[in-house]
Amino acid sequence: MTSKRPNFLIVMVDQLNGTLFPDGPADFLHAPHLKALAASSARFKNNYTASPLCAPGRAAFMSGQLPSRTEVYDNAAEFASSIPTYAHHLRAAGYHTCLSGKMHFVGPDQLHGFEERLTTDIYPADFGWTPDYRKPGERIDWWYHNLGSVTGAGVAEITNQMEYDDEVAFHAVQKLYDFARVSDDAARRPWCLTVSFTHPHDPYVARRRYWDLYEDCPALEPEVGFIPYDEQDPHSQRLYRASDYDSFDITGEQIRRARRGYFASISYLDDKVGELLSVLERTRMLDDTIILFCSDHGDMLGERGLWFKMCFFEGSARVPLMIAGKDISAILIDAPVSNLDVVPTLCDLAGIDMSAIAPWTDGQSLLPLLDGKTRAEPVLMEYAAEGSNAPLVAICEGRYK
């Protein structure tokens, strides 16, 4: 089967630490499907989020715009409907655009260019997390992070996140079958299906069959150990306070269990990715589909004594990016790139006039890098949310940040 333009399967995960994907999944990870995908992918070793928090990072991913343009700075900020996304661009070019899963849209627009959405979101869209800026430094206990995810790490056979991701995968598989039913129709529209899971985001719990895979895992200890509060940089100190670290006395065993639960969640995700790839292969759509695997931001996983994200250290800011397709070479690219580059890359692959896209994005197409060209422009990141007392900016250029 052939088609003039490729289909797109975008698999997005939540809070996946890019240092665990130096060239595909690290050796100690039990992730056979992701390792097989990596073997046939262009792999971007130094890919960074535009903002290390869910809603700002995802708005930037969808639009290709930095938070200073989207004005989505925290998890309670509205993503304005007037900002075009890759779903808008592809839909205008004739693509059937569909979302199954999380995208953390806040506000009345829960589509942002997608023709259909197969699930609800997992987080509130109704401004329920909006902070009171008349109370600087206030801890918003109903959604601010705390270390209960670390102390509560272990085995769980069902959680709301597992139920959600099981549903996301189920509906995505059914949608792929729907696409396959018309795949031989010469007049069919190409499709873009975004499948967005909430794992391996904390809580750090996993089903027993995945937990048991990491009984003797060599990576349960952080490479950089705990750094006392007085020796931390000012922003890390603010994260300590914002995430209520003083209310918890974290032990070495709790750290190991939390990391084990996180690694186990990656294996759970790997099975979900395997289901999607299997459907593509069995329905003979694989050759006509470009697969993009990415994450919104990372997780510090106890490095330096920090957890979750919200900072520019590698564990928080660096995220996996793999692109596979029939005409895409399986290579490792070291140049720093950004999730902002996804929008122009998808449009470039779809044959859209890039001069029409350029004014709407802060990113650049990755296709020249796939052809062996170099890139000199630095990668930018912004953060102005939980734990910050002023906007923060990071610049990555070469081996420097």
Collapse the DSSP code of 150 into the 3-class scheme (helix H, G, I; strand E, B; otherwise coil) and give the result. helix
Question: What is the number of alpha carbons within 13 Å of residue 237 lying toward its C-beta?
Answer: 8
The torsion angles phi and psi of 395, rounded to 5 degrees, stand at -130, 125
Q: What is the C-alpha separation between 383 and 67, in angstroms, rounded?
A: 8
Six token digits for residue 219: 């990576």
Collapse the DSSP code of 358 into the 3-class scheme (helix H, G, I; strand E, B; otherwise coil) and give the result. helix
| Residue 54 appears among annotated catalytic residues | yes
The torsion angles phi and psi of 342, rounded to 5 degrees, stand at -65, -45
Out of 104, 171, 199, 235, the active site residue is: 104
CA distances from 94 to 40, 63, 190 (A): 28, 18, 7
Out of 54, 98, 192, 396, the active site residue is: 54
Residue 53 CB partners (closer than 8 Å, separation 6+): 74, 75, 297, 309, 310, 383, 385, 386
Six token digits for residue 62: 């969808």
CB 16 within 8 A of CB 299: yes
Strand partners, 205: 154
| Residue 89 appears among annotated catalytic residues | no
Write the DSSP symbol of residue 377. P
Measuring CA to CA, which residue among 203, 387, 164, 199 is closest to residue 296?
199
Q: How far is CA 346 from the centre of its chain?
A: 16
Cis omega before residue 203 (within 30°)?
Answer: yes
Collapse the DSSP code of 392 into the 3-class scheme (helix H, G, I; strand E, B; otherwise coil) and give the result. strand
Active site residues: 54, 104
